[in-house]
Structure formats: C-alpha cells, structure tokens
Amino acid sequence: MAGNEKKSGNKTRWWTTIRQTYQIARRSDPKIGWILAAIFLGILVVFVVGALLLPVGTITKVLVIVLGVSVALLATSFVFGRRAERAAYSEIAGQTGAAAAVLDSMRGTWFTTPAVAVTKNEDLIHMVIGRPGVILVGEGAPSRIKHLMANQRKKTERWVPDTPITEIYVGDGDGEVPLPKLQRTLGKMPKVLRPAEVTEVRRRVYLRVDVERPRVVLRLVRRVVLLRVVIGISPSSPAGVRRRRR
C-alpha cells in the first residue's frame, strides 16, 4: 500500500514538473504548443505513410508505426527541452542572482557559493570551485564590478595562493559571457586540479568565506534558490543547493 502511494506521488511530481516547465516556456514562446504538435504529428505521419506504402506484412507495418511514435516522442522532447531552457534563461535574465542560479545547477564536481562579495547596488561576485580551480563570476554593472572583482581576487589569492583563479563577467558586452553560455564556458575550462585538491581548496576557502561574507547575502541566496526553481532545478534534488560542512 505504501509502495503504491510512493509511486503515485512520484508520478504526480513528474507531471507537475512538465506542466510547470511548459507554462514557463509558453510565457516567452506562445507558439511552443503548436510547434511541438507539428513536430510530433509530422514525424508520425511520415512513418505511418511509409509503413502503409512498404510491401511488407501487417506486423512489420505496426512495428514501423510504433517506431515512428517513439521517434516522434524523442524529437518532440528534445525540441521542448531546448526551447524550455531558452525560455527559462529569458525568464531570469537581468534578475539579481541569475548567474548564481545557473552556476549552482551545474552537475558534476562544481561547488558554487553565491554572492561572496556584494555592493550596495547588489552587484555580485560568485565563487565556483572545481577542477579548473577557483572561478570568480561577476554579475552587475561593468563600471562597478571591476573594482569588486579585484578585491575578491586579492582575498582569494591569500586563501589559496597556489590555485589557478579565473575571472568571468556575465553579460552581453565585449569580453563578457552571455548567461545561456555560462555553464558551457566553465565546462570547457582545462581541468588542473585532482578531486582531492578540489576538496582541500573548498575547505580552505569556505573557512574564510563564512566569516567574511556580508549579512545581506542570506537574502540573495534565498533569491537564487527561487530562480533555480524557475530554470527547472529543484533545490531538494541532487543538483540542488549544496550544504557546506562546518
């Protein structure tokens, strides 16, 4: 009985996630429903017509149609995922903490600390630790973020002097990384640290970050969690906000 309730709960959450994702995508892409329907029906029609025209037996025709349904579902899911992702980025673009939400949803050995440095105008520096080393990600007005980045870099160099430190600025200007390409940019960085070294860097950095972090960060971190829900990552999932050990 309990097992059936658990399965039912999981199924509900799955459908709820699909519905919420579709609703978010539809806000910035009103034609997405028609596009997905056209892709599914177009592929299915091709397979059905092909099955009917093939000089084969009935069983083979049925198998071809079943294959068509599978291919149509796969293609529709792929297009839906890509368009929903684009819509999600559009939904959070320009909001404070958007870059941190994207960074914290990365899978693998990436550990994000949102807002390690903040200005009164809520320009932010986020810190990501991974096998490429320490990546400082700036989010805010270029005229203000440069000075904030320089100060944070000096602090980080004192904490982990032998670790590579990379600076990235999020935006659409020259030398900046657009929000949708942020994860891809980090993923292409060379891996120079071993997993054990990543753990040691995290330990040394977090001991100082917890002490020096501004109090306003608590409000910003809550906002990051909400933005991550918008881009389709549940905070309770394995890729959710990571709790640091004290």
The 165-170 sheet, strands edge to edge: 111-118, 124-130, 133-139, 165-170
The predicted structure's pLDDT at residue 122: 79
Which residue in 246, 234, 232, 236 sits closest to 89, CA to CA? 232
The predicted structure's pLDDT at residue 243: 38
The predicted structure's pLDDT at residue 246: 38
Residue 64 CB coordination number (10 Å): 16
- Taking only the tens of pLDDT, the chain with its 246 residues reads 444 444 444 445 767 777 777 877 787 788 888 999 999 999 999 999 998 898 888 899 899 999 999 999 999 999 988 888 777 777 777 777 788 888 887 888 899 888 888 888 878 899 999 999 999 999 888 888 999 999 999 999 999 998 999 999 998 888 899 888 898 999 999 999 999 999 999 998 887 776 555 554 545 555 554 455 555 543 333 333 343 333
Structure tokens at 206: 């977090």
User: Is the pTM here over 0.75, yes or no?
Assistant: no
The predicted structure's pLDDT at residue 123: 87
d(CA 112, CA 136): 10
Which whole-number Å values give the CA distances from 33 to 1, 16, 30, 87, in the listed order?
37, 17, 7, 13
> Which positions ≥6 away from 177 have C-beta within 8 Å?
168, 169, 170, 171, 185
